Amino acid sequence: MFRRKLGKTHVPHYKNTAGTPAVAIPTPASVLLPVAQHIGAPATVVVKPGDTVKIGDIVAEASSYVSSPIYASVSGKVAKLEKYLRADGKTVDAVRIESDGLMECRDLTPPDINSIDDLTEAVRHSGLVGLGGAGFPTSVKLDAAKKGGIATLVLNGAECEPYITADTRTMLDDGELIREGVELLLKFIPSLEKIYIGIEKNKPECIEKMTELFSDCERAEVVSLPSLYPQGAEKVIVYNTAGIVIEEGKLPADFGVLVMNVTSVAELMRFVKTGMPLVSRTVTVDGSAVSEPKNLTVPIGTSVRNVLAAAGVADDDIGMVLFGGPMMGTAICSLDEPTVKTTGALTVLTEADARRREPTPCIHCGRCVAACPIGLNPTAYSKALDIEITDDRMKKLEDEKIMLCMECGCCSYVCPASRPLVQNNRIAKVQLRDFQAHSATLKN
């Protein structure tokens, strides 16, 4: 039966580094490790200035169920504890480690895994989070499998943002780890009936490699997805691979689905085989200001400045740097910002490309509505921002399903009037959350 796939927007691919394996950068002089590199509660610092650490030593432990530990990514000495201002305006603790240049690892012991409880606990200690950008602690996702009912595993290999090829390189260079990781999940989650590996058609080598690796796995299917943005969004890829609709306010687990990024699965298996927690990332460095795009293996906590220097990007060429891609990436305010667990790319733009276009009045063309992968109406949210906060206005935002917005940026991308639609949506969501919280307080 025909089923229309979600995702409608054609964006340039610019996959310049798809054929470029990652190379390690020179050891940085220091790293800065914020304790909040994931969704959930920040980790709690367990080291003090003057402590000597090796790669893989814990520096901040998970503080709650939805949290993730942080590990030293270089060997050396804890120089000081700092405060780090995140892009969302929140200030968190951070650990500064001065490298000794030796890159010595602590003694590693692979975890002993004999059950789903063992696997979940091991992943909790690995520091692994969703490496596709969301940063949700992987142990929490696996914990849902302990309760039963997880029948579908969706591996996200879409990598739909322009420029980024970190997941591409994982599929090509570490595909065997992905296959072994899936076998591990099948062993300890017996309820799994089907595995879908979703990959955009603009990555034929990855489709071929994954098809070959999973050729003898009857429950696995490699799904070749249209190269339409945003294929990698969770709700979109679940629907486009498994045909399952994740309803508003629900999680994939509520529908028996476990979604994991392909690099997350590879890193899970790397930890199971070696005992080395998450301490580094493959980072794509590309953009209009990058003359020689590269994939680099980067210790977590390395400054953007050091990464760009390793990629041969001169400060004078930089107009803007984004954590992530140009559609959903976050602009940084300083080259001294540290890379974190979820940093899969640095997109570097020239002054000309970074210049903000002045918005003009809405011409009511409807392109934003047509581009939205889940059929929302961004113009309705913009109108709601222009009036006083009232019950009626909040009811309108609820009725128009503002909380379903994925902030993918399709609406802003296609707007001929250069309206800041996705920014408006973010503001509207914050205002609705605040209003609902205030209303709940008044009722109590």
Helix H or strand E encompassing 441: helix 421-443
Q: Which residues, in sequence order, are bridge partners of residue 81?
A: 95
Kindly state the percentage of the chain with pLDDT values over 90: 80
Please report, as a single letter, which amino acid is at residue 20: T
Provide mean pLDDT across the span 358-368: 93
Lowest-pLDDT range, 33-42, 117-126, 136-145, 184-193? 136-145
pLDDT band at 318, cuts 50/70/90? very high
Token duo for residue 210: 């994954």
pLDDT of residue 393: 81
Please state which CATH number belongs to domain 116-274.
3.40.50.11540
pLDDT band at 346, cuts 50/70/90? very high
pLDDT of residue 388: 64
Distance CA 85, CA 288 (A): 28
pLDDT band at 2, cuts 50/70/90? very low
Distance CA 223, CA 210 (A): 10
Residue 402 has pLDDT above 70, yes or no: yes
Query: Tell me: the pLDDT tens digits for 58-101?
Result: 999 999 999 999 999 999 999 999 999 887 778 999 999 999 99
Place of tokens 């340039």: 12
Supply the Cα-derived Rg of the chain in whole angstroms: 22
pLDDT of residue 3: 46
pLDDT of residue 391: 77
Residue 109 has pLDDT above 80, yes or no: yes
The domains of the chain are located at: 116-274, 367-443
pLDDT of residue 4: 52
pLDDT of residue 231: 94
Residue 193 has pLDDT above 60, yes or no: yes
Of 405, 407, 394, 377, the C-alpha closest to 434 is 394
Q: What's the pTM value of the predicted model, to 2 decimals?
A: 0.94
Q: How far apart are the first and last CA of the chain?
A: 49
Query: Tell me: the pLDDT tens digits for 215-240?
Result: 999 999 999 999 999 999 999 999 99
